[in-house]
Chains A and B, each alone.
Chain A
């Protein structure tokens, strides 16, 4: 066990730190922030991802032949720490990087890798995820969107829901039913669908935060070339499990931890400056206890991810540990935002554009957004089933 870094790892850190200092806008995080308008913010994040790519900092852990820099998992950990330290913006092609790219790397053909990976890394193509349906949520394997092979094309009909970033996406990976006459897990396939195909319509869904990040996506006789299948026909469940392992896994958690750590730092700074009845909000003893606990839990999100990395580097397999990672970070982050709201005191309800809102309403928005954490990419109840059955060996 050693948390010291090698000279080359330290060089990596300093190179990134210097690049960030030179590339982020002047006054970033102090006087300059992300745009408030949802669409402008999305475009800002896309622009930031392209800057990362231009600087050689996109998809760093991917193999060099597909445009990555072949970074180690340790360097990935350093990357996350430095992004947190610089309060760097989020990206918008998270689904492309973390899910589509990793799944294609694991199960795609060489032709698929050459076709799809470079534009993910350059953020020329943004991806969305077509898994959930109105009647297939926690019971994902019961998806009903049909894909029939006709000649050299699949004809896709059905509806997906909660498709985040569909409005910005050029591509969608979807879990579809190719055989309705076998047990539900055995009749699924994993297709890559061009979002500009005729027959696709998207309708934004408004979330409890007021934003419309996600959508309903309708497929009406959409033609998908047969070569756009990952894995074999009716082998899609296995492919989807790989996607979910990455969606719930330590790389994803570490990326999120960056954001939570930034928000926590901002919260502490805000509470130092917020006066409540003659003393600063940070001086409230009961808040201090809960804040300390939140700081500990967000740090543990990082440490859990690093421990998983060490496990993988020692040859351990990715598996149900991803459910433990996801269950932990989602609840830790939700709790943190509850603490934030409590700590802000009587003025906590003020949000958005109210001139008296704390930190321009960011905690109120994050608090609302955080309600999704324990639902998406497998609800906490599903994660607990997986942990109980596959990690602890409890009966079904």
Chain B
């Protein structure tokens, strides 16, 4: 048992953090998507998208735990969310893809050439991925997906839809006949989210991902999205905490630094405890996801719900501690507030994940009771 990251994992996280720090435009107050392209190219050049690709497909064969600190750094740097989808889909292909899907797609994702975008949410559906209305029948996909990140840049959509054997994941080229994208207007335009319509799109025989057990692929995609979201939230919350503390140390009112006032100091202390606690939950969640541990669903839901609430709290507090400056456009705190809210609502809300924590707790207690009875 060891709760620490090793030197290579830390070093990779530091590298990603330093690389993104050069892309200051990612944090600019104006809601421009201009910075996303250069940041994507830099991450691709670093080889980030090859890290989780198996060695026999030209990658480094790392796990999501190996990349956890890197993803956290991407959260705090407001890195393009398409990069997260790339990692997520890589994990899914490695676990559930057929050899030919892996051969066809992984090298191109690794090189940063093929951009993938995850498409789950729909109008009129709840959080659960298995409740989507999009449907594939007779190898044709019909449905409309919402809130797809960087949708207009995607070369391939990774779509959750109903099939003859239940909910499943389908790989759909963006240039297929019948696919169209409408950009959303939303609170974080830098996420470049779009609505993607699939109008009777013909799918080829390799479109179904994880044909052996389609439901497991859907669950892994969703849990992966939730686990990586928790890391992004952690990155945002850590950065906002540091920003608030810096300001409290230097901003002078009534002749002294405002951080000497307990009303400010204690809020900072509470934020610090919340961030460290979110860190514990999130690191455990990403490990449980990476290892496919028996408590994966519960651990991931705890991480997503908790770190989402912490990120929200810390963003709100940081704006408050900055006073009038915090509410200005030019200081740019709104960028983190907006991004955190977008992430909070993807891959299951806190409410949905809390409910799953309870369901899984009851299931685990029953299982434990069964084990005790069996032993007796």
Q: Does A304 contact B (CB under 8 A)?
A: yes
A299 and B302 contact, CB distance less than 8 A: yes
In the bound complex, what is the Cα–Cα distance between A389 and B264 (angstroms)? 12
Q: Does B164 contact A (CB under 8 A)?
A: no
- Chain B residues, CB < 8 A from A33: none
- From A146-154, A205-213, A229-237, A377-385, give the one contacting chain B: A377-385
Q: Does A202 contact B (CB under 8 A)?
A: no
In the bound complex, what is the Cα–Cα distance between A296 and B300 (angstroms)? 11
Are A268 and B361 CB-contacts (below 8 A) given A1-B65, A304-B277, A395-B259? yes
B361 and A295 contact, CB distance less than 8 A: yes
Q: Does B283 contact A (CB under 8 A)?
A: yes
- Chain A residues, CB < 8 A from B355: 288-289, 292
Could you tell me which residues of chain A, from 51 to 101, have a CB within 8 Å of some CB in chain B?
A: 74, 77, 85
B273 and A327 contact, CB distance less than 8 A: yes
Could you tell me which residues of chain B, from 1 to 15, have a CB within 8 Å of some CB in chain A?
A: 1-6, 9
* Chain B CB within 10 A, most for which of A268, A282, A387, A392: A392
Could you tell me which residues of chain A, from 205 to 248, have a CB within 8 Å of some CB in chain B?
A: none
Q: Does B293 contact A (CB under 8 A)?
A: yes
A306 and B248 contact, CB distance less than 8 A: no
In the bound complex, what is the Cα–Cα distance between A91 and B298 (angstroms)? 31
Interface bits B262-290 vs A (CB < 8 Å: 1, else 0): 10111011101100110111011001100
Interface bits B248-266 vs A (CB < 8 Å: 1, else 0): 1100000011011010111
**Minimum CB–CB distance for B350 against chain A, Å:** 9
**Minimum CB–CB distance for A326 against chain B, Å:** 10
A385 and B4 contact, CB distance less than 8 A: no
In the bound complex, what is the Cα–Cα distance between A295 and B356 (angstroms)? 12
Nearest residue in B to A17 (C-beta to C-beta)? B375
Interface bits A348-385 vs B (CB < 8 Å: 1, else 0): 00000000000000000000000000000000010111
Size category of the binding interface on chain A: 35 or more
- Chain B residues, CB < 8 A from A74: 1
In the bound complex, what is the Cα–Cα distance between A391 and B354 (angstroms)? 31
Q: Does A9 contact B (CB under 8 A)?
A: yes
In the bound complex, what is the Cα–Cα distance between A391 and B273 (angstroms)? 10
In the bound complex, what is the Cα–Cα distance between A296 and B355 (angstroms)? 11
In the bound complex, what is the Cα–Cα distance between A97 and B20 (angstroms)? 48
Are A303 and B280 CB-contacts (below 8 A) given A268-B362, A289-B354, A395-B256? yes
**Minimum CB–CB distance for B374 against chain A, Å:** 14
Q: Does B157 contact A (CB under 8 A)?
A: no
**Minimum CB–CB distance for A13 against chain B, Å:** 11
- Chain A residues, CB < 8 A from B277: 297, 300, 304, 328
- Chain A residues, CB < 8 A from B5: 1
Select which of B273, B280, B354 is within 8 A of A387 by beta carbon.
B273
Q: How many residues of B contact A (CB 8 A)?
A: 48
- From A115-123, A129-137, A186-194, A309-317, give the one contacting chain B: A309-317
In the bound complex, what is the Cα–Cα distance between A394 and B302 (angstroms)? 31
B358 and A288 contact, CB distance less than 8 A: yes
In the bound complex, what is the Cα–Cα distance between A391 and B276 (angstroms)? 12
- Chain B residues, CB < 8 A from A141: none
**Minimum CB–CB distance for B279 against chain A, Å:** 8
- Chain B residues, CB < 8 A from A3: 1, 3, 284, 287-288, 291, 293
**Minimum CB–CB distance for B289 against chain A, Å:** 12
Q: Does B177 contact A (CB under 8 A)?
A: no
In the bound complex, what is the Cα–Cα distance between A134 and B362 (angstroms)? 46
Q: Does B245 contact A (CB under 8 A)?
A: yes
B283 and A324 contact, CB distance less than 8 A: no
Q: Does A114 contact B (CB under 8 A)?
A: no
A394 and B357 contact, CB distance less than 8 A: no
- Chain B residues, CB < 8 A from A395: 249, 256-257, 259-260
Interface bits A307-338 vs B (CB < 8 Å: 1, else 0): 10111011000000000100110000000000
In the bound complex, what is the Cα–Cα distance between A74 and B1 (angstroms)? 7
Interface residues of B, dominant DSSP: helix
Q: Does B305 contact A (CB under 8 A)?
A: yes
**Minimum CB–CB distance for A150 against chain B, Å:** 43
- Chain B residues, CB < 8 A from A392: 245, 259, 268-269, 272
Are A388 and B273 CB-contacts (below 8 A) given A303-B280, A310-B2, A394-B245? no
Select which of B249, B260, B280 is within 8 A of A300 by beta carbon.
B280
Nearest residue in A to B309 (C-beta to C-beta)? A293
- Chain B residues, CB < 8 A from A381: 262, 266
- Chain B residues, CB < 8 A from A269: 365
**Minimum CB–CB distance for A130 against chain B, Å:** 28
Could you tell me which residues of chain B, from 319 to 371, have a CB within 8 Å of some CB in chain A?
A: 351, 354-355, 357-358, 361-362, 365, 368
Q: Does B40 contact A (CB under 8 A)?
A: no
- Chain B residues, CB < 8 A from A265: 365
In the bound complex, what is the Cα–Cα distance between A314 and B268 (angstroms)? 27
Q: Does B306 contact A (CB under 8 A)?
A: yes
In the bound complex, what is the Cα–Cα distance between A252 and B94 (angstroms)? 42
**Minimum CB–CB distance for A5 against chain B, Å:** 6
Select which of B266, B279, B351, B365 is within 8 A of A388 by beta carbon.
B266
B4 and A311 contact, CB distance less than 8 A: yes
- Chain A residues, CB < 8 A from B368: 85
- Chain A residues, CB < 8 A from B354: 288-289, 292-293, 296
A307 and B358 contact, CB distance less than 8 A: no
A4 and B281 contact, CB distance less than 8 A: no
Interface bits A264-299 vs B (CB < 8 Å: 1, else 0): 010011001000000000100000110111011101
A291 and B265 contact, CB distance less than 8 A: no
* Chain B CB within 10 A, most for which of A1, A314, A383, A389: A1
B266 and A384 contact, CB distance less than 8 A: yes
B256 and A307 contact, CB distance less than 8 A: no
**Minimum CB–CB distance for B280 against chain A, Å:** 4
- Chain A residues, CB < 8 A from B288: 3
Q: Does A2 contact B (CB under 8 A)?
A: yes
- Chain A residues, CB < 8 A from B268: 387-388, 392, 394
A-B pairs with the 8 shortest C-beta distances? A388-B265, A394-B259, A310-B3, A303-B280, A292-B354, A387-B269, A384-B269, A292-B357
Q: What are 19 A-B contacts with C-beta separation under 8 Å?
A: A2-B2, A3-B287, A3-B288, A3-B293, A295-B358, A295-B361, A300-B280, A300-B302, A307-B3, A307-B279, A310-B2, A313-B4, A327-B269, A388-B266, A388-B268, A394-B249, A394-B265, A395-B256, A395-B257
Q: Which residues of A contact B (CB under 8 A)?
A: 1-5, 9, 74, 77, 85, 265, 268-269, 272, 282, 288-289, 291-293, 295-297, 299-300, 303-304, 306-307, 309-311, 313-314, 324, 327-328, 381, 383-385, 387-389, 391-396
